Structures are given as structure tokens and as C-alpha cells.
Structure 1
Amino acid sequence: MDSSKIEDVDASLADYGRALLGAGANASAVSMASATAALTRMIADADRSREIRREAILRAHHDLFRRTPSEAHRAGTLRTTQNWVGGSDWSPLGALHVPPPPETVSAYLDDLLAFADRDDLPPVAQAAIVHAQFESIHPFIDGNGRIGRTLIHAVLRRRRATRHLTVPIASALVAHRERYFAALGDYRAGQAATIVAMLASAVRIATAESWVTATRLREVRADWGAAVGGSRPGTPPHRTLDLLVEEPIVNPALVAGRIGVDEEEAAAVLAALTRAGVLRRAPRSRRAPVWLAGAVLDEVGDLSDRIQASSRRMRGA
């Protein structure tokens, strides 16, 4: 979500949840849910193939924009026109960055992917340079920032610096949005050290705070067990409680598919967990009900706040 906030895209958790479940939501929520789908696809592809592949980048871009009417026709395709960063919509005069001409983009991307698949340099430095180079190429008309930040996670997963979880690195970057953009400018001026150092700091802070959240989520799961009076392993309520730690925004269809019951039984489990205080029904979701595991979502929000606060303290130290 914080990667979208860097692009000034934000939405409530309830709207974001509806968008994730395909239950209808506002444009910002749909955009954020689409960014989540793109992130998931890129990381999964890097994990499976042990490569950073052009096809995965294009499919992730398609995920990002296929639900955006004004951009759907360009979803998943490299740009064929000149673009620029900053300045006006009509001219690159005064732009912060003018990327290479469109006819050179494909070759530049091939070169970037070859670098991304190397194993002879530190993973965090590699991820930072891949990200900054991707932003410099700016291969799409829109969505370069979100796809580029997704590439950071894809490189770290390919290098096995991460194996199971996606640490919210963007939460540290959004704390210093202007400094982050300036670091990309330094890279284009030939100074890669700024963005490498910034990403290394972001990874360190996000990882440390994520360990705290992991501990707290184990405590949340234990509290839920007490709230429902205990549950037997393997039963639908027990499996749903386990699911909610990973998927804190659900509806009957999602629960039914993930724990292997019909939607009627899933709805009954959700109702019971709502009565126990584990779940709450999202507001404004009468036609397409969505349930939220508030304790998990509150912890995720707190994680983002802690990462940003730690990043600002480090900057001020």
C-alpha cells in the first residue's frame, strides 16, 4: 500500500479490501489492489524461475492497469512514444528526467535484465541499481514507479535474500519521498551510492520492525483462540483463524476456497468469528459483504507507522 502512496494513491482499508476481493470499490482502491496483484505476480515468478523475466514485468504491468479504463489499452506494453518526469504535460521543457527514446527501450531493458540475473554482487545493492535503472529507462507510459519498486522485491527473492515474506520496504521510502526521488536523480548523475545506501537503510529498518510484527501476530492468533473458547486443529474455525493472520480481509467465497468448505459453511464461520470479536464487517459493504480482521490490520498499519518513524529518526540522527 505504501508503494502506491508514493504515487499519491490512497484508500481506506475497507475500500482496499473490496477491491482485493473484486467486490467493487473506488478508483484509488482498485489501483492499490492492482498494485498488490502486480507485486504478487513478480515475486512469485522470480521465486519460481530464479530469473527476472521481461514477460513477468509485462504481465505485472497488465495486472496494474487492466482495471483502469483510461490505461487498459496500454496495459502490459512498452511505451512507443517519448515520455518525461516532471515539467508540463505538453513539453519536456523543465522536466526532472527525460528517459531514452522509445525505440531504444527494449534493448535497454534486455541489458537491465541481464544485470538483474547476476549473482556476483550484494543483493541489496543489486536491487537498488536495478530499481534505479528501471526508473531511468521508464519503459511504460505510466506505472513505472510501482513496477520498479516491485522489482526490488523480485530481485531480493531471486537472490534468496527473502524466502517467504515481503518486507514493506516502501514504508521506509515513503517517509522520505522527496529524498527518494533525489536519490534517483543522483543515480542518473552517476552517483549510485545514494540510492544503494537509502535502500540498505530501508531494508534494515523494515526487517527489524517486521520481526516485531511477527511476534505480535502470534500473540493475536493466541488471543483469537481464547476468544472463541478454543478450536480443534483441522476444523473450519481453526483453519479460518490461521487464514486470517495471512488474509485479514475476507469474504465467504475466499474463505470457502482456501479452507475447502462450501460458501454457506464459510459464512457461518465468519458470523461466529464476528460474534466473538475476531472479525468486523466492513462498512458500506451490504451488496458485497467484506469482513476485516481488525487486530491484524491495526498491526499492519502500526508496522507502516513504526517503519516511517524509525526512518525519520535515522535521518535526523
Structure 2
Amino acid sequence: MTPARIDSPDPERSGSDPGWPAHVPDVRPWRQRTRGGTAADRRLTEVVAMRPPLIGDRDVRLSPELAAVMEACVIEIAALDHSHGAELGVLETLLLRTESVASSKIEHIHASVDDFARALHGIRSNPSATSMVASTAALAALVGSVDDGKDIEVAMILMAHLALMVDDPHEHAYAGRFRDMQNWIGGSDHSPRNAVYVPPPPETVNEYVADLVKFGNRTDLPVLAQAAILHAQFESVHPFTDGNGRIGRALINTVLRRRGATRRVVVPLASALVARRDDYFDVLSAYREGRVEPIIRSFTAASAVAARESRVSAARIAELPSVWREKVAGRRGSAASRLLDGLIAAPIFSASEAEETIGGATSSVYAGIERLHEAGIIRPLTDRTRNQVWGAADLLDELDDLAARIEAAMR
């Protein structure tokens, strides 16, 4: 099928700021193709889809005051990216997981940190934890694809979506491919009756995605403005049947990485967004009305808070090895000491993995594990009696604490 041509809305007709046109309505015939719903669902004969403007070459006009606030935020993000040395590579993983967990919470997907840790280690866990792990994989894949300034590619967006949805019991058939059907947000489950928002028709998706990738690969825009607008446009296009929010939020850190605002870490701004979830959806609505500054301001504030609190976590992590050694006084080279040496880098491990990593007699390895457990340094993550999986308690707790501090700072 030849993709439908997308015409940019006329700003005078839309009544929006001429610098950024509002979405315009596109009335389409509708017929319900599945059973279910109410009589009103079945009687619906047309749907009003919304057409965003094309943004690939569009200028972004911002006030000098907002530009200054964004610059200060980028400095805060840079400070986070330089706040840890090579020995604190765990911070990268911690922030990646914090962002993925919070992004999932925005979609009402919840699981405890221990459930999440179990799922990360490949242990059967509740579906929400498994979904969070998939979100982590998708975020890592998308952000990693633009290391060294590589361009954002449509293929990588599809690959990230595949990682996110491939094991989803309801959506796996659509994993890694754009929608070929009309979708909608809110309203009935059976028709777009009373929907909060109806994205553009499916035949326009490919052109819209190509256009937003073009926008995302520009280098002439303030990085935070670019990241916020790219996310808002992605959410408006809603190119997938499910998973749009999590992939769209992953694109924020993808832009930050590609433009060099970060080199190693991700900024867990989703923790800030989930604290003010209604405000997040309000600024997305403002974008659809042709107002770009609200979402840029929101994301700038969220990024600054997230970066600042993440630096607190970096400082805490840096202190952990010495704190742990004070709790477990013993000779260097003992099993407990060797376990501590690798605990920052691998905070979740099984008993058999510990044997492979540190070597020595099985009895001494298990004695070392028990010593760390008695000191409160590690805790069991399963109910197994054999080959237990353990987690570094302080690091797992920091995952929760970081998200809580960010949320508190935003309220």
C-alpha cells in the first residue's frame, strides 16, 4: 500500500502559535470489527483521528528564560555523568533499572524491587516484574544504539519494541512492527467512542515515524527541547498497538545520549513524571494544541531533579564497599572478602555463580555467603533451599530510595 501523504496543518486555520501548529482533525468512517461493547459502540459510524504536524525540519522557538533553564539542567546532567568513576559502573545499571521501573509505573505496571531483581536474574516472577525487565532491555537497546553519535534508526525503534513486547501474552504478535489498525486512548475497549485521543490513521504511521526520526537526528536544536518534542510527537503518532509510552520515554534518553549530554548513564526522569502523572498527560495535551513550551519545561524540571538525586545515589554507592568491609571484618582473600570484591559489579547472584566467580571449596563459598547474609549485606530473593539467588540489600534498597526521593522532590 502506498503511504498516505501527510500535509502539515495550516497554523492560521488551527488557531495555534504559528511556530508550532496544533494537530488537526481527520474524520474517518468507522465500523466495529469485533464483538462486544455496548449498543452505542456498535452504532458508531465515524472516528475523528488527529493529525500532528510534520516536524522534521520545523524550527523550535523558545523564550530566552526557558533556554537558560535548559542550559542549567544540561550542566546538572553532565555533573551526574561525571559523578562516578570506573568502579561505579553499577550506577549505570541502577539508573537504567530505575528509569525502566518508573516508566512501567506510568502504565500502571507495578512490582516490588525484589520481584524485579528475581525477574532480572531469569527467575519466574509476576508478569509486572517480567514486563519491567523487558522495558529495561528495550531502553538499553535503544540508548546503546546511538553511542558515539550514531543516528536514531527506525530499525532500532522496532528492535526495542520487539524486546519490550515479545513475551507479552496479549501483544507478542505485534512485537517489533508498527500498527496496521486504528488505535485510540481512553474511552471504550471496543470502539473509539468517547476516546481521550485518537492517533492518526495507520496508513500514515510510516511517514510520521520517518519524519520524527529525522527530527531526532538533528543537531541544531537545544537537546532537552529536542528530546521532549520527539517524545510528544511519538506519543501523538502512537505507532504501536501497545508499548508506546515506554518506547517513547526511552527515546528521551536516546536523544540525550546521541547528543552527548550523557555518555554512560540514563537520566531517570520517569520517576519524576510518575510523581505528577496527571501533569505529564496535561503537557502532552498542550503539545497537541500547538504549545511546545509546557512539555519542555516539564521535562527540564524532571531531568534536573532526577540528575540531582541520582548524584546522591552515586555518592552512597561509592561508600558501600568500605561500609560492607566494616561489617565483615576478615582476612583479605577469604571467601567473604572475595564475594565483597565483586558485589558492586554483580549485586544479584546465585550460589553457583558465586562458586564460578571466586573459586575455592564449595563449603567455603557457602560459608562466605552465609557470613554476608548474617551481616545484612545480602538477602535471599527466592524460597529455594538449593542454589539460592542473593541480592545486595543496600543496592536494591537504593533502587527504591532513589525513586522515592525523586518523586518526593517533585511534589
The two structures share one fold, judged by TM-score above 0.5: yes
**1:211-252 CA-partner distances (Å, limit 9, x unpaired):** 11111111222201222336759x986675455335433334
* Whole-angstrom distance in 1 between the partners of 2:298 and 2:176: 29
> How many residue pairs get matched?
310
Bigger shift: residues 273-282 or 209-218: 273-282
Partner of 1:195: 295
**1:138-181 CA-partner distances (Å, limit 9, x unpaired):** 01000000111111111111111111112211110001001101
Q: Secondary structure at the match of 2:221?
A: coil
Query: Does structure 1 conserve the Cα–Cα contact (< 8 Å) formed by 2:272 and 2:410?
Result: yes
Of structures 1 and 2, the larger Rg is shown by 2
Report which of the two has the higher share of helix: 1
Q: Which residue identity lines up with residue 157 of structure 1 in the other structure?
A: R
What is the TM-score when the length of structure 2 is the normalising length?
0.70
* Whole-angstrom distance in 1 between the partners of 2:331 and 2:344: 16
Indicate yes or no: 2:348 matched with 1:249.
Answer: yes
Gapped runs of 5+ residues in structure 2?
A: 1-100
**1:238-286 CA-partner distances (Å, limit 9, x unpaired):** 67545533543333466678x5869969767544432443111114355
Indicate yes or no: 2:376 matched with 1:277.
Answer: yes
> Which structure is higher in RCO with an 8 Å CA cutoff and minimum separation 6?
2
Gapped runs of 5+ residues in structure 1?
A: 313-317
Among residues 237, 241, 251, which one is paired with 1:151 in the alignment? 251
Q: Percent identity?
A: 46
Indicate yes or no: 2:172 matched with 1:76.
Answer: no
Bigger shift: residues 187-196 or 66-75: 66-75
1:203-222 correspondence runs (5 A): 203-222=303-322
Bigger shift: residues 84-93 or 107-116: 84-93
1:13-162 correspondence runs (5 A): 13-47=113-147, 50-162=150-262
Partner of 1:179: 279
Among residues 98, 102, 116, which one is paired with 1:2 in the alignment? 102
Indicate yes or no: 2:398 matched with 1:299.
Answer: yes
Query: Does structure 2 conserve the Cα–Cα contact (< 8 Å) formed by 1:23 and 1:288?
Result: no
Bigger shift: residues 123-132 or 90-99: 90-99
* Whole-angstrom distance in 1 between the partners of 2:175 and 2:374: 43
Indicate yes or no: 2:327 matched with 1:224.
Answer: no
Bigger shift: residues 200-209 or 87-96: 87-96
Partner of 1:310: 409
Q: CA deviation at 1:69?
A: 2.0
Structure 1 residues 232 and 45, CA gap change in structure 2 (3 angstroms): farther
Partner of 2:10: none
* Whole-angstrom distance in 2 between the partners of 1:23 and 1:11: 14
Q: Secondary structure at the match of 1:131?
A: helix
Q: CA deviation at 1:109?
A: 0.4
* Whole-angstrom distance in 2 between the partners of 1:111 and 1:309: 37
Partner of 1:315: none
What is the TM-score when the length of structure 1 is the normalising length?
0.89
* Whole-angstrom distance in 1 between the partners of 2:256 and 2:331: 37
Query: Does structure 1 conserve the Cα–Cα contact (< 8 Å) formed by 2:149 and 2:259?
Result: no
Query: Does structure 1 conserve the Cα–Cα contact (< 8 Å) formed by 2:183 and 2:198?
Result: yes
Structure 1 residues 300 and 231, CA gap change in structure 2 (3 angstroms): farther
Bigger shift: residues 80-89 or 277-286: 277-286
Structure 1 residues 281 and 35, CA gap change in structure 2 (3 angstroms): same
Q: Secondary structure at the match of 1:205?
A: helix
